[in-house]
Amino acid sequence: MSEQYPERTQEAREQSGRDLAIMVYLIQAISLFTAIPFFVGVLINYFKRDSVRGTLAESHFRWQIRTFWFWLLWLIVGSCTVWVGLGYVILAINWIWVIYRVIRGWLALIDRRPAY
């Protein structure tokens, strides 16, 4: 009976991590229209990172964190170059890239595959 407890704990950790990753993907999708939730999503990733170590959600958390940081980098670069006109192209490509990352990650999670 004591052997089943760790399995249940691991199963519960997997489900909890999966639920958190789904929530952050949803937050990232909402962030396509307003940037503020993106910061909330990455904070969730960083605060809950230790609780998903060794689970499928770990790769998704890493995927989501990297999505955030690259989004922020290209948002800054695009915003700084808007006056040249190139910034609008950078911002548009960044927006499309985030859509791709959210959809690809979400589909992988639904299929119970790692993000990478």
Tens of pLDDT along the chain (116 residues) come to: 444 445 558 888 889 999 999 999 999 999 999 889 999 999 999 999 999 999 999 999 999 999 999 999 999 999 999 999 899 999 999 999 999 999 999 999 999 999 88
Enter the DSSP assignment of 55. S
Is 84 a domain residue?
A: yes
What pLDDT was estimated at residue 9? 82
Please enumerate in sequence order all residues whose Cβ is within 8 A of that of 41, keeping only pairs 6 or more positions apart, or say none: 24, 27, 28, 31, 64, 68
Asked whether residue 91 is domain-assigned, the answer is yes
Q: Which domain, by its residues, includes 66?
A: 4-110
State the pLDDT at residue 78. Answer: 96
Q: How many domains does the chain have?
A: 1
What pLDDT score was predicted for residue 22?
Answer: 95
**pLDDT the model gives residue 7:** 57
SS3 label, residue 101: helix
Nearest to 105 by CA among 57, 73, 69: 57
Tell me, what's the pLDDT at 75?
95
Angle between helix 36-48 and helix 57-80 axes, rounded to 10 deg: 150
The answer as to whether 116 is a domain residue is no
pLDDT at residue number 3: 47
Structure-block tokens of residue 98: 């985030």
CA angle 49/98/91 to nearest 5° reads: 130
